[in-house]
Amino acid sequence: MKAQNHRIRVGIIGYGNLGRGVEMAISQNQDMELVGIFTRRDPSTLASQAAAYNLQEVESFQDKIDVMVLCGGSAKDLPEQVPYIAKYFHTVDSFDTHAKIPEYLEVVDQAASASGKVSVISTGWDPGLFSLLRLLGQSVLPEGGDTHTFWGKGLSQGHSDALRRLEGVKGAVQYTIPKEEVLQEVRSGKPVTLSAADKHERVCYVVADEGVDLEDLQHRIKTMPHYFADYKTTVHFISEEELRKEHSNMPHGGTVIHTGESKVGDKQRVEFTLALDSNPAFTASVLVAYARAAFRLAQQGQSGAKTVFDIPFGLLSARPIDELIKELL
Amino acid sequence: MKAQNHRIRVGIIGYGNLGRGVEMAISQNQDMELVGIFTRRDPSTLASQAAAYNLQEVESFQDKIDVMVLCGGSAKDLPEQVPYIAKYFHTVDSFDTHAKIPEYLEVVDQAASASGKVSVISTGWDPGLFSLLRLLGQSVLPEGGDTHTFWGKGLSQGHSDALRRLEGVKGAVQYTIPKEEVLQEVRSGKPVTLSAADKHERVCYVVADEGVDLEDLQHRIKTMPHYFADYKTTVHFISEEELRKEHSNMPHGGTVIHTGESKVGDKQRVEFTLALDSNPAFTASVLVAYARAAFRLAQQGQSGAKTVFDIPFGLLSARPIDELIKELL
């Protein structure tokens, strides 16, 4: 591997939970430095010690930043920003609209190939690490089994928002929890066809407005189409104080289970689990490791859009490959 | 990725449990064909439907085989065979003497670089998939935690052999089992320093010769230095029939747990588990996936010795990358 002459210079675009996580993760990696945070807001309002700039200034940092970590949303921010930013910088993002990844990949690849930059798209934990484990399982054990992904126990932002939109709800969080008995069934390697509703239950903690008919509210939650109607759903009514004290973190995680048979009857199981106190902080940590990989791929002369499937794990670590081989292989 | 003009033509060297597993695994991968098995024994004695040849004939297969999967032992076979075979073929092996991997890598790299071949060394599940997960955990979460590897529940060949060498023992197997309470402690992210003996217990199933003093035999087992003296060891005396019926499979597996903190107090855990009915069959399945990767790396113009750290997961699958992205990312 080519020696690095300087620390990898990183920029962050977007400063929500994910952007703050990336800032923290960079501070844990001594081979990197955070050059600046770029925002569409007034930069002076950012609650960060790092230098903050208006996103409009970003082009002037062409010679000062190697890799830009994009922390915006998948719906609007990333499809708009990444093809533009890839003209000037290597990029990493967590674009997570699974169905739209192929077209997104193509657009980003055109931009990054044209500029000679490397763009790592759709990394994080799902898509990202979970995708890698699904692929690993299916590559090693192609027959006699199946791959299942369970999400949780974890706080679901979308479902929490859905609760909050209901009349009579003052505050709420929703946890998605894999059903233990279904996990066990999948582990056994028995062939099963499972919907998301078969695999998960939903537990809601709700602060109701004063005077609201709780039985009616519970009924409205449990019958909400798409969100709760198909699921085993439990509703707990709690106080505002309890919501703040017990439910303000963003834990998440999940499990990928792949089973197969090396020969008929030989059950083999590969299982990968994440248990995360902070979902955005972990996603950020993954983005930063792949920012290093993007930089190194570029040093090797590569360009264009890459996914986690294209990137060897040896490029993720700050440590020299001979040390990794000696200590971890 | 370059289109393949033919199926990947694979050879097997060595036909023990692992070699038989590789034969089986190749039959599960339609993009590969088994051209022949090479042995130092009389080829006509091999219990296989595949073509069998004497190892001395191997050089004449230069134009008929792409990748050779070496299934011999790490102590003598692989250090002798791989540098020689790498002159003529891409190779894959499961060299697993952890401490000697760096020097082995160097020797194989010289041979493979000189011939322009690709040699994937030290793959399987440990070293191999477990190494990958240790590296992934440490790359993504470099601070505030630790990495622990547990082996089992599984049959340990070395410890079973040690039992069988004792006077008064007719037959025996030994299972290595991770201690559940230590697994839980490690999962909590509490910093702990653990020896192998702290993490595992050993359970022995022994068929004693007739008339042997069982109490004395049990004492000799439990006090055997290196093998059992440091461990919590349980001995069960069973009949020959029970040994044959209940303990003739080779199950194994284990767990890699990496914990870290994205910021102080945010515990994040990455956990990878294998639960295998057949240890050699699974190792064989991994070798075959990496045989495909070796072939593809060579198609990309690469040569020399490679480890799992150098190889992106996208090269392990028989399926086209755009399908993988669409369905698994």
Q: Helix axis angle, B279-299 relative to B17-27, nearest 10°?
A: 60
To the nearest 10°, report the CA torsion of B7, B8, B13, B14.
-60
What is the reported pLDDT for B89? 98
Interval B186-222: pLDDT, tens: 999 988 999 999 999 999 999 999 999 999 999 999 9
How many CB atoms lie under 10 A from the CB of residue A165?
A: 9
Find tokens 């002076």 and name the residue: A44
Mean pLDDT of B159-183: 96
What is the reported pLDDT for B5? 62
Confidence of residue B263 (pLDDT cuts 50, 70, 90): confident
Nearest residue of B to residue A252, measured between CA atoms: B268
Cβ atoms A162, A176 nearer than 8 A = no
Angle formed at CA B93 by CA B22 and CA B276, multiple of 5 degrees? 50
Mean pLDDT of A281-303: 98
* Residues in chain B closer than 8 A to A317 (CB atoms): 135, 138-139
Statement: residue A243 has pLDDT above 80: yes
The residues that bridge with B17 in the sheet, in sequence order, are none
CB contact under 8 A, A321 and B309: yes
Mean pLDDT of B33-57: 96
**What distance in Å separates the CA atoms of residue B127 and residue B146, rounded to the nearest whole number?**
19
Residue A71 annotated as lining a ligand binding site: yes
Q: Which helix (H) or strand (E) holds B54?
A: strand B52-54
Residue-wise DSSP of B78-102: HHHHHHHHTTTSEEE-----GGGHH
Flag the least confident range among A50-54, B43-47, B105-109. B43-47
**What distance in Å separates the CA atoms of residue B188 and residue B257, rounded to the nearest whole number?**
10
Angle formed at CA A41 by CA A38 and CA A47, multiple of 5 degrees? 75
CB contact under 8 A, A309 and B311: no
Report the mean per-residue pLDDT for chain B: 96
Higher pLDDT, A3 or A285: A285
What is the reported pLDDT for A5? 62
How many CB atoms lie under 10 A from the CB of residue B268?
A: 27
CB contact under 8 A, A268 and B289: no
What is the reported pLDDT for A190? 87
Q: Which of B84, B110, B82 shows the shortest CA–CA distance to B95?
A: B82
Q: In chain B, helix, strand, coil percent, each to 5?
A: 40, 25, 35
Interface size between A and B, measured as CB pairs under 8 A:
203
CB contact under 8 A, B25 and A321: no
Q: Which of A8, A14, A63 shows the shortest CA–CA distance to A298?
A: A8
What is the reported pLDDT for B16? 95
* Residues in chain A closer than 8 A to B143 (CB atoms): 28
| Closest CA–CA distance from residue A251 to any residue of chain B (Å) | 9
CB contact under 8 A, A262 and B284: yes
